[in-house]
Amino acid sequence: MLPLAKEDTIADMEQSFDYWYAGHGHLGFYPKDNHRIFNDAIAFTQPEIINEGVDEFLDPNARKLKGALHFLENRPADKPFMLSINFNLPHGAGTRSIKLKEDDDAIYKTMYRNLDLSLPENYIAKADIKTPKLPADLLKTEDRQEGYNYVDTAEGLKERYIRELEAMTGIDRLVGNLRKKLKDLKLDKNTIIVFTSDHGLFGGQQGLGGKALCYEQTTHVPIIVFNPKAPKKQKGLKSDALVQTIDIAPTMLAMAGVTPPSTFQGKNISSLITGSTTEVRNYVYTENLWSTHFGNPRCEAIQNKEWKYIRYYKNNNFSASKEIKYAKEIGIPINEMLYSMHDPQVAIYRDYIEAPLHGEKPVYEELYNLKNDPNELSNLANNPQQSEVLANLKKQWKVEITNARGTGKAEVYRYTNDLYPDGKH
């Protein structure tokens, strides 16, 4: 959620928005260094700049950010609003750029540095890996994004973990400021807050770094819902129900008294928030179809509360290390080479989506008992005693992937850096 300068606006942008914040790509810890739209912010670090935007949106009497676009200058006090606040912190793209600058808040310079932090369970340094978690021709670690190489050594991992804790503390402070602002504006009794994350991150567990795999370390993320109108008996409830991120939108609409569109694939999980123990989903489906040129294989997974089945497809992608090499030789900006999407890539991605439905076979499979083996250490896919479990999960995989692909006409949305030839936007 970033202040959008006038020269960066889109002419036909939806005019019903009260206020529009936008950003492109991973911000880094110091957004002003790479994004013109932050030039007029008072703060320098990501959490504090975004905090400025939160104040600006909620409080009509707050300082008006120069160049920020207001569609409705005088929003009625009783007009409902939806505010989305998105960080890429504590993601590696943000935490690796922390420089301990003199002007940084003390949080980002000294906090947690006096602690003796332990390594994650099942951590394996790169030099100590004897049997890789996945076959070398499937997970090509030499093409892993350099920003995740900190997991290779205990020292590098501990330094990054400290930075992640610092970043999370900054975000926690913003949440506190947000709640105080809501209270000051007398909006706290009628505003629902949802806090979640898009993915987890490996910290060297089983020798792995990054994300883009279907293991619990990356797919099992928290979701916290605060409803000030909930009765006391519903406060502090916890649930281990299976839900997906696509369930958030229909749930928020339902809690606001709006019927979710029938085209939504997500489910309304508000019953879980009020204490129901009836399962909304029996299975959840996850996949990685992106970042394959960074050495990651395409993979899909289906799981219930006890079992998880993961299937991998042949990794014959052109490697990122070669793309970077040729970008330097030819003179193409590296980010443009890595992230721009053109018609051939659209066709390839479409094939990634469709091929499994049309008979593409997996080249490697995994089966884990999540109750007995929550860290997913023992692959039971080739265990004859679990053949029936595996067969049932494969059938359910076909059901879930068919539903996920839908029946509508395919749309093409390109993610590209073509509009920013100077690399700064």
Where are the chain's structural domains? 282-425
* Of 300, 308, 312, residue with least CA distance to 389: 308
* Residues in Cβ contact with 21 at an 8 Å cutoff, skipping those fewer than 6 apart: 1, 2, 3, 4, 53, 57, 68
Segment 210-237 shows an average pLDDT of: 94
DSSP string, 378-405: S--TT-GGGHHHHHHHHHHHHHHHHHHH
Task: Give the pLDDT confidence score for residue 14 in this predicted structure.
Answer: 43
Query: Angle 108-183-228 (CA atoms, 0-180°, nearest 5)?
Result: 100
Query: Angle 385-386-388 (CA atoms, 0-180°, nearest 5)?
Result: 110
Segment 3-16 shows an average pLDDT of: 39
Token pair in block for residue 394: 């494969």
CA–CA gap between residue 171 and residue 91 (Å, rounded):
12
pLDDT at 344 over 70: yes
Segment 131-157 shows an average pLDDT of: 92
pTM of the predicted structure, to 2 decimals: 0.85
Please give the share of the chain, as a percent, with pLDDT higher than 90.
52
Burial category of 46 from C-beta neighbours within 10 Å (exposed 0-12, middle 13-18, buried 19 and up):
buried
Task: Give the pLDDT confidence score for residue 418 in this predicted structure.
Answer: 45
pLDDT at 421 over 50: no
CA–CA gap between residue 79 and residue 87 (Å, rounded):
26
Helix intervals (H) in 242-308: 248-255, 270-273
Residue type, 267: K
Assign 360 to helix, strand or coil: coil
pLDDT-derived band at 60 (thresholds 50, 70, 90) equals low
Task: Give the pLDDT confidence score for residue 36 in this predicted structure.
Answer: 75
Q: Is the peptide bond before 90 cis (omega within 30 degrees of 0)?
A: yes
Task: Give the pLDDT confidence score for residue 118 in this predicted structure.
Answer: 94
> Could you tell me the CA-to-CA distances from 215 to 15, 376, 401 in Å, in that order?
41, 7, 18
pLDDT at 264 over 80: yes
Burial category of 74 from C-beta neighbours within 10 Å (exposed 0-12, middle 13-18, buried 19 and up):
exposed
Residue, of 93 and 389, whose pLDDT is higher: 389
CA–CA gap between residue 319 and residue 326 (Å, rounded):
11
pLDDT at 419 over 50: no
Q: Quickly count: other Cβ atoms within 10 Å of residue 405's Cβ.
A: 13
Task: Give the pLDDT confidence score for residue 61 in this predicted structure.
Answer: 56
CA–CA gap between residue 9 and residue 17 (Å, rounded):
13
Residue, of 190 and 88, whose pLDDT is higher: 190
CA–CA gap between residue 15 and residue 30 (Å, rounded):
30
CA–CA gap between residue 209 and residue 218 (Å, rounded):
10
Compute the mean pLDDT over every residue in the chain, rounded to the nearest whole number: 84
Tell me the pLDDT tens digit for each residue of 273-290. 999 999 999 999 999 987
Residue, of 322 and 49, whose pLDDT is higher: 322
Task: Give the pLDDT confidence score for residue 98 in this predicted structure.
Answer: 80
- DSSP symbol at 70: B
pLDDT at 319 over 80: yes
pLDDT-derived band at 74 (thresholds 50, 70, 90) equals low
Residue, of 87 and 419, whose pLDDT is higher: 87
Task: Give the pLDDT confidence score for residue 232 in this predicted structure.
Answer: 92
pLDDT at 121 over 80: yes
Task: Give the pLDDT confidence score for residue 208 in this predicted structure.
Answer: 96
- Segment of 158-162, 229-233, 305-309 carrying the highest mean pLDDT: 305-309
Tell me the pLDDT tens digit for each residue of 359-391. 999 999 999 999 999 999 999 999 999 999 999
Report whether CATH 3.30.565.10 matches the domain 282-425.
no
- DSSP symbol at 205: B
CA–CA gap between residue 290 and residue 296 (Å, rounded):
8
* Residues in Cβ contact with 351 at an 8 Å cutoff, skipping those fewer than 6 apart: none
Residue type, 181: K
Query: Do the Cβ atoms of 273 and 225 come closer than 8 Å?
Result: yes
